[in-house]
Chain A
């Protein structure tokens, strides 16, 4: 990007709901990988639909922040990561976790507060961890894990490895001071960090146009002299190519990089509702347009167009995902809650 003006013009195009509804460009992409992307995105979507339904039914107690509509970003980025990388999320992180490893049963158990959950029933939807897959953790303080990801990256560099840290954050987090400190610190210390801003144009109920001078946040990467890319976050091929390019450079010691992926969430801020009523600058009409930009829909159409999958193949994926979800949910429902003594025995670290 040559200038901030051009960047702002591009952001305005990406933020307009009626744009980018076409098929995505999958020329040159590995067909197998695209099919993996489709499977992962459908899996994450159906898991979150299940969570929405069970929250509405009252079976799930705590808040669930759903990322339906945003799946292309973590699915494509995770294809460039290993289990030794260090990934951090925030309140809306089921997708970040599942894109690394489809731990559907453990996620369900966690959301239900069971001791077989990812965080042993101590965290629920908003405090997830799965260190085996490189998902160090997600917590619901906006921007809380951003400096932690810089620290995890610092640790990787300190050990002389080529592992990287990934900080998933939203456009709202870009309004927190600690993010600006983190960008500067990462640049000065040259940490191997990928900052991924999932810009879904909303922080809670409020559109970015009411919070920031324009719809983009990459100006902060520019200000900190960090190489960045702005991408259509609902195009898994583009997110994959861009993140691969930047992650390769990070692994070679080129310091932190920044991706801003523009997207939209189908649900509202929290739980199953769409929030078209309470959202400021969020309308049914905009949501309808964004549904036509659905990353799963666009990949599916692109694959069908090139005959890389047929309708039977899609049904098979849906059937497999559906069975996995049903089995995982039933099993998690039957699991036990944490012992009461865990309330106090886990205040300090121990290896139980």
Chain B
């Protein structure tokens, strides 16, 4: 009873979304404001990974439950991934497929592998060299939505 009351109170006290945007001006106190943190210098594979992410928009595409078919947003992501990979033919990627946790262990491994293969096939159709792309399956071992992740290996 008491908990419920407190919860209602908390909701009532939360400002509506419009009010949240009217933030007060923040005046830094003290003699000097802290130095903005320098982003770390990226080199090698890390720099390539960052560049790949920026230009592809995402390293992950999502599937419908129990399906290996990709929707329009995923197709756009793969299009961008393929464009980047065509510009970097020396880069090798591994596509890792994932299945939903409700699957049974071994069926999940096969479903994950199928999703990875689907992404690989799509990338090849979009002009990426087949030798650039390996596949693997995590089955249901890394919980999350059904997906395939393109990871730069080298």
Are the chains A and B members of one assembly? no
